[in-house]
C-alpha cells in the first residue's frame, strides 16, 4: 500500500499576519526537545497495522518554517524515518522554506542529504504586499534564494503566491505571476488570501484599517492566473496548483486521492481506512504525551458513509480530473448524476457561465466552477 508522511515543524521567526497554522517562536533548546519527541512518535507507529506495512512514496516537511532547522537536524530526522518505515526508491522529499532562512551553502547541503523538492514561501514579489502580509523577508532575498536553489542543484522547485491581498489590484497580481514565471519554477501554488479567525489580518480588516478585495476582483485574479500560467506551459491539476509536465506534487496528490498518510508533530493530521485523527496543537502537551510514552492524539473519528461520500466529492472536485463517475458508482452503488440530479440542475441554471462539464466518464468543474468551489460543495452537502 502506498502512503505519505507529513511532519509539522511548528517553529517560526515571526507569525505572519494571515497565518492560522499552529506555530511558535523558534528556540534552539525547544527545537531539540521537539525533534527528540518526533523520534519517539515515529517509533510508536513502527507496529501500526497500516503504516508498518506501507511503502511511503513521499515525505513532506511543512510548518511553520522547516528551513529554520539545520541540515544536520533534518538529516537525523530523515535517517530516523528510514530506520522505521519502508520508503520507495527516489521518494519525493519536500522541504518548505522561507527566503530569510536560506543561503547557497544551506541549500547545497539540503540537496546533498536528499531533499529533492523545495517549496519556497515567496507569497509576493511586491515589497509593500510582503510588509502587509507580515512576511519578514525582503524582495531581494526572495529573488536571490530562487537563484541559489537552482545553483544548489534543485530541479523541482515550487513557489507559493498569494492573491487578493488587501489593496492589491488585478494588474498588481498579474505582475506577481509574471515575476514568478520569469524564474521557470517547475511548480506554482496560487492561493486566494482568506481572512482567518484570530489572525492579525482579521483584526485589521474588522477595524477598517484594511479593506478586503471584492469578490469580482478575486474572480478576475484567479481566472487571469489560470490563463497566464496555462499559456506559459503549466498544467492546472488542482484549484490552487499548477505544474510543468511531470512535476505535480506527489504528496498533495495522496491527500486528494484518499491514500493513507501519517502526520507527525503538533496539530498534524493522519488518515487511513476512513479513520482520521489529529494531534494536540500545543508543544507542551505534545512533549509531555510522548515523554509519557503516549501518542499525542487530540481527537479521532471514523467517517460515516455520508462523510465518506462527501469527502470523495470534495477531494475529487478540487482537482482538474474531477469525479470518475464509474468509480463513484462502484464505491457508493448509485450513479452520481442520478444521486445528485438536483445539484446538477442547479449548476446548469446559473448566471455564472458553464460551471462543469462531463468529459468522457468524468464530472469536472470548469475554471468558473472552481471559483465557486465552496458554494458548490455546500450544494452537495445540502443533498445528503
Is 17 strand, coil or helix?
A: coil
Q: Is residue 222 domain-shared with residue 369, that is, in the same domain? A: no
pTM exceeds 0.85: yes
Among candidate residues 20, 147, 3, 153, the one with its CA nearest the CA of residue 88:
3
Evaluated on CA atoms 124, 130, 133, 136, the torsion sign reads positive
Q: Does the residue 248 lie in any domain? A: yes
Last residue of a domain, one of 194, 222, 256: 256
The count of domains in the chain is 2
Measure Cα distances from 368 to 221, 373, 375, 379 in Å. 12, 9, 12, 16
Q: Does the residue 283 lie in any domain? A: no
Q: Is residue 36 domain-shared with residue 170, that is, in the same domain? A: yes
Q: Is residue 239 domain-shared with residue 335, that is, in the same domain? A: no
Q: Give the tens place of pLDDT for each residue, 18-54.
A: 998 889 898 888 999 999 999 999 999 999 999 999 9
Among candidate residues 54, 58, 61, 57, the one with its CA nearest the CA of residue 84:
54
Q: Does the residue 209 lie in any domain? A: yes
Q: Does the residue 50 lie in any domain? A: yes
Q: Give the pLDDT score at 384.
A: 85
d(CA 324, CA 359): 10
pLDDT at 352 > cutoff 80: no
Q: Is residue 134 domain-shared with residue 234, that is, in the same domain? A: yes
Q: Give the pLDDT score at 195.
A: 87
Q: What is the mean pLDDT of the chain?
A: 95
Query: What is the CATH number for 37?
Result: 3.20.20.70
Beta strands in the chain (DSSP E): 2-9, 11-12, 24-25, 55-63, 86-97, 117-123, 157-163, 187-192, 235-238, 241-243, 261-264, 269-272, 275-279, 297-302, 323-324, 356-359, 362-365
Q: What is the mean pLDDT of residues 222-230?
A: 98
Query: What is the CATH number for 361?
Result: 1.10.10
Among candidate residues 346, 344, 305, 353, the one with its CA nearest the CA of residue 325:
344
Q: Is residue 251 domain-shared with residue 311, that is, in the same domain? A: no
Q: Is residue 314 domain-shared with residue 251, that is, in the same domain? A: no
Q: Does the residue 289 lie in any domain? A: no
State which residues form the domain around 311. 305-382
Q: Is residue 79 domain-shared with residue 208, that is, in the same domain? A: yes
Using only C-alpha atoms, what is the Rg of the chain? 21
Report the residue count for the chain.
384
d(CA 68, CA 101): 6
d(CA 46, CA 293): 14
Last residue of a domain, one of 256, 289, 316: 256
Q: Is residue 235 domain-shared with residue 312, that is, in the same domain? A: no
Q: Does the residue 277 lie in any domain? A: no
d(CA 99, CA 198): 26
Last residue of a domain, one of 241, 256, 271: 256
Q: Is residue 228 domain-shared with residue 151, that is, in the same domain? A: yes
Beta bridge partners of 236: 242
Q: Does the residue 48 lie in any domain? A: yes
Q: Is residue 145 domain-shared with residue 227, that is, in the same domain? A: yes
Q: What is the phi/psi pair of residue 248, to 5°?
A: -60, 145
Q: Is residue 204 domain-shared with residue 347, that is, in the same domain? A: no
Q: Is residue 241 domain-shared with residue 340, that is, in the same domain? A: no
Q: Give the tens place of pLDDT for each residue, 292-338.
A: 999 999 999 999 999 999 999 999 999 999 999 999 999 999 999 99
Q: Does the residue 300 lie in any domain? A: no
Amino acid at each position: 500500500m502506498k502512503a505519505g508522511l507529513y511532519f509539522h515543524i511548528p517553529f517560526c521567526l515571526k507569525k505572519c499576519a494571515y497565518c492560522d497554522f499552529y506555530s511558535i517562536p523558534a528556540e534552539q533548546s525547544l527545537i531539540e526537545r521537539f525533534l527528540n519527541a518526533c523520534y519517539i512518535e515515529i517509533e510508536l507507529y513502527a507496529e501500526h497495522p497500516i503504516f508498518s506495512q506501507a511503502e511511503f512514496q513521499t515525505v513532506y516537511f511543512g510548518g511553520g518554517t522547516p528551513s529554520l532547522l539545520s541540515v544536520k537536524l533534518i538529516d537525523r530526522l530523515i535517517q530516523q524515518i528510514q530506520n522505521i518505515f519502508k520508503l520507495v526508491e527516489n521518494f519525493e522529499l519536500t522541504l518548505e522554506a522561507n527566503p530569510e532562512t536560506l543561503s547557497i551553502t544551506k541549500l547545497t547541503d539540503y540537496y546533498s542529504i536528499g531533499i529533492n523538492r523545495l517549496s519556497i514561501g515567496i507569497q509576493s514579489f511586491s515589497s509593500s504586499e510582503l510588509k502587509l502580509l507580515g512576511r519578514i523577508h525582503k524582495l531581494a532575498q526572495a529573488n536571490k534564494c530562487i537563484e541559489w536553489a537552482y545553483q544548489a542543484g534543485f530541479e523541482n522547485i515550487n513557489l507559493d503566491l498569494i492573491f487578493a491581498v488587501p489593496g492589491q489590484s488585478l494588474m498588481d497580481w498579474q505582475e506577481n505571476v509574471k515575476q514568478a514565471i520569469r524564474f521557470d519554477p517547475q511548480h506554482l501554488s496560487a492561493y486566494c488570501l482568506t481572512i482567518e479567525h484570530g489572525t492579525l489580518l482579521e483584526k485589521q480588516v474588522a477595524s477598517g484599517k484594511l479593506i478586503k478585495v471584492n469578490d469580482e476582483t478575486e474572480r478576475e485574479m484567479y481566472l487571469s492566473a489560470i490563463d497566464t500560467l496555462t499559456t506559459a506551459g503549466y498544467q492546472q491539476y488542482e484549484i490552487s496548483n499548477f505544474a510543468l509536465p511531470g512535476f505535480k506534487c506527489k504528496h498533495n496528490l495522496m491527500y486528494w486521492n484518499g491514500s493513507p498518510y501519517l502526520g507527525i508533530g503538533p496539530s498534524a493530521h493522519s488518515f487511513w481506512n476512513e479513520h482520521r485523527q489529529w494531534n494536540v496543537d500545543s508543544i507542551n502537551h505534545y512533549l509531555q504525551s510522548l515523554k509519557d510514552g503516549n501518542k499525542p492524539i487530540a481527537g479521532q473519528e471514523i467517517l460515516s458513509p455520508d462523510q465518506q461520500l462527501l469527502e470523495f466529492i470534495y477531494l475529487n472536485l478540487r482537482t482538474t480530473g474531477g469525479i470518475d463517475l464509474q468509480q463513484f458508482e462502484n464505491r457508493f452503488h448509485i450513479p452520481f448524476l442520478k444521486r445528485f440530479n438536483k445539484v446538477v440542475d442547479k449548476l446548469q441554471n446559473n448566471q455564472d457561465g458553464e460551471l462543469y462539464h462531463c468529459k468522457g466518464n468524468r464530472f469536472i468543474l470548469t475554471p468558473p466552477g472552481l471559483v465557486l468551489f465552496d458554494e458548490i460543495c455546500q450544494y452537495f452537502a445540502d443533498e445528503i
